[in-house]
A and B are shown apart, each in its own frame.
Chain A
Amino acid sequence: MSVLNKTAAVIVTFNRSGKLMAVLDALAAQTMRPDIVLVVDNASTDDTAALVQARADADPTIRHLRLPANVGGAGGFHAGIKAAYQMGAQYFWVSDDDAYPRPDALQSLHRALTGFQADNGWRPSFACSRVEWIDGSLCEMNCPRTVWDWARFVRPGSAWALVDSASFVSVMIPRWAVSEHGLPIADYFIWFDDAEYTRRIARSYPGIFVPESVVVHDTPDNRGVNFGLVDDKSLWKFKYGARNETSWRRREMGLMGVLAYAYGVRGQMRRGDVPSSLRRQIYGAIIKGLGFRPAIERV
């Protein structure tokens, strides 16, 4: 909890200027507008740069951080939070370029972070929104993970469940968490960077799920992350996911954790009838993850 409330929105984008503009519209309509809207542009090749620049000319809160190359979502969030930290933000609202926050989404997250501490003394390491798909159903891939005593402080009017893992789709992180735990791992490139990061900062204290803060995630379909869904088109992402989670499990749980993970992945792929050629590639990514030990950068 801080008497200073400077807030930075960190949006990572790549070649989705249309959706990005909708996100910027949604941010401009917030009941509590971020002081800085940092658009982290992963070297987009469409008209993103021009459109963002045009917006920035009219709205001084918008900053365009154009990266020299596409470093993936993980690299983008790493660079964005680092830049926003250096800009002096006390809160970082982190989200994708295809998630549209409802007008009170940011204010609800902020209120929950400060209200939770005022009511209970503990300071949550993050607050995450309810992420809905475009039809209003829960977005399968953005469901946060609860801790065992998630209901400890859930009460009428402040139904904030304790969670220890969330995706980078409308999550608000206080500055102290970044100071104490560092930045997301850029080397992950894509997938599991958000889970790793929120689990890391949740070591201090879990985050909270804030159902009154709602964002709409405009994804092509509403599917969860399950290795039974691996196909040729999505294989590259799943390979990153397998490598990154293996690396994290090796770090946090040792070899037994990796074996348990590999066993679970095997079961999902068997149940999903994933072709053996794709399975082999996933196993290869798991083996790669055993030796993948990216450093955590501190601020």
Chain B
Amino acid sequence: MSDLASHTPADPALVAHLTAGIAEARAIYELLFPTQQLFFVLSQGNNPIWAAPEVIEGPHNPRPQDLGADYLGTLTRPGAYDGAPQVTIRLAIPRLPLPGEIKQIDAPWRPMRGLGALFRASPLWYEQVRYGAEMARKRQADRRTDQTAMPLGDGSALLPAPVAPDSDKRPAILIGMHWLEMGGAEKLGFDTMRWALAAGLRVFVVASVPAVQRLADKLPDHPDLTFIRLDRYLPHHLWPRYVQRLAMAENIRAVHIHHCTPLYESLTMLRMHLPWVQTIDSTHIVEYANGGYPRISGVWSNYLDMQHVISGELVRYFRDRFHAPAGKVVLGRMLDRKNNDALPPLRLQAGQKTLHACFIGRLFYQKRPVVVVEALRALNAWAGRNGVTLTATIVGEGPYDGTLTRLLRKHGLSSKVDLLPGNTDIPALLERSDILLLPSNNEGLALVCYEAVAHGCIPISTRVGSQDEVLPDGLLVPLAPRAAVAGTVAAVDAMWRDAGTLARHKDALQAAWTRLTADPTAEEVLMPVYCRLAQGDAA
């Protein structure tokens, strides 16, 4: 008789994937529990990003759910001594992501339940209703959320303070990311990895949010950089203990937090047991819902040695709301000095007969892609009235992909608007665009506006975050969707009709550019810190 199906050899690629996942998970738990006896109960997961880890400290009686249909088996790591405590770790090793999940893990966007008819009738009014609800939520959130910095005791000289042990390893830094996906915070995170490596630090990278981590293959290919998949394999409540172990084992001298919640939650552990570890964070946007990461940073500000921000708005936010001492909050723009050569002329001319508009950003709600389309629709009508030929390019991917395509078709804009993927050559696009639309729900200081100016393209943005640091009033439009659309058309019309207005805006952009470039860059404020750490000094 032939073999049973269950004896069929598994696909080698799949076996390699599982083996690698098990090794990654083992390394994490063997560091976290160096002396304990570890039992790994492993199963095959049906989730591409999360291992659903469960950690049971102490004796554990196996339960039926430990031995389900997807059960792979167990592994044991003996304890360091007889009678070592037991720890049982249940893990469902994530499966390989499917092509659709690699492209886009979020489900296609749909209008909120009950508002589908409104969206079909008028996407802009739908956005307006949503905006109204958001503003109401913001007012409530402002009252509810904690807006004070937590106190931090300095301790007493009566008791000895912990002292950094000697280590034979070169100093290292732990860089905590939100995730390794496209975004401004992530771009800065990647930059800090490169700077830390250049300074001579060994770099450990973790991410807090389970995700496909599409940019993992863009991590610097350097022997001193290690990406540890805590996002997949370690529950958040164990992060502080893991960070402590890792810091001790790897001579970690600093932790740099880029929107990484569990690393904020590890700060208490660090301040109590490893006070020599320098704590730095970088924040970008005060978000409407509850303040977002700047608020979290503010609440933890006493636990942080340095709060790096990218805009003047955030400097004021920390100073005014959280009473941060002078010197702790450090402004470092996300700019590159290498690109600060002479500003090219801004392309738009009054009365020109063609207009190319572009939008660049992830197609998520934050960027309000529906408002982008409505603005293009209004601009198209304006162009028709004034004998201007409008064309546009939308660059980005996200859950709004399908909605955008349908809306453009519905408004008869399909032939005028190109939809391009996120890996498009952005400088080349900006160099052939007259205006950049950025009607975002919130922004810190959108780097894309700065890039647009650097390539001769005039940005028009909502008045959010620190956008007023890069754009003059005439190029800032209200946040309310209908007003944003009307304001965008009015801004374009004013520049197209009146050469004086256009010249004033160009001069103001030039002045803003000059002001911004006079500020220190993130690299300039962080690199010295990294260098001192690499030399073994306190930051």
Contact = CB atoms under 8 A, between A and B. Distances in A.
A49 B6 CA distance: 27
B44 A3 contact: yes
A203 to B, nearest CB: 12
A4 B44 contact: yes
Contacts of A176: 46
B46 A91 contact: no
Interface of B: 1-8, 10-11, 13-15, 18, 44, 46, 68-70, 72, 95-96, 98-100, 102
A61 B6 CA distance: 12
Given A121-B98, A176-B46, A110 B8 contact: yes
A192 B151 CA distance: 67
**Shortest 9 CB-CB contacts between residues of A and residues of B:** A7-B5, A88-B69, A3-B10, A121-B99, A6-B6, A5-B8, A35-B4, A35-B6, A5-B5
Given A2-B44, A121-B98, A179-B46, A34 B15 contact: no
A28 B5 contact: no
Contact of B99 (A33, A89, A122): A122
Given A3-B72, A4-B44, A30 B11 contact: no
Contacts of B1: 28, 33
B70 A4 contact: yes
Given A6-B6, A121-B96, 17 more contacts: A1-B96, A3-B11, A3-B15, A3-B44, A4-B10, A4-B44, A4-B70, A6-B69, A32-B2, A32-B3, A33-B3, A33-B5, A34-B4, A88-B68, A110-B5, A114-B11, A118-B14
Contact of A4 (B2, B72, B96): B72
Interface string A10-43: 0000000000000000001011111100000000
Interface of A: 1-7, 28, 30-35, 61, 85, 88-91, 106, 110, 114, 118, 120-123, 175-176, 179, 205
Contacts of B3: 32-33
Contacts of A5: 5-8, 10
A282 B8 CA distance: 48
A185 to B, nearest CB: 23
Contacts of A118: 11, 13-14
7 contacts: A1-B14, A1-B95, A3-B44, A4-B72, A91-B5, A110-B8, A205-B98
A162 to B, nearest CB: 14
B69 A175 contact: yes
B75 to A, nearest CB: 15
A90 B10 CA distance: 13
A182 to B, nearest CB: 15
A33 B2 contact: yes
B4 A61 contact: yes
B5 A6 contact: yes
Interface centre among B6, B44, B95, B102 (most CB of A within 10 A): B6
Interface centre among A1, A89, A110 (most CB of B within 10 A): A1
Contacts of A35: 4-6
A127 to B, nearest CB: 14
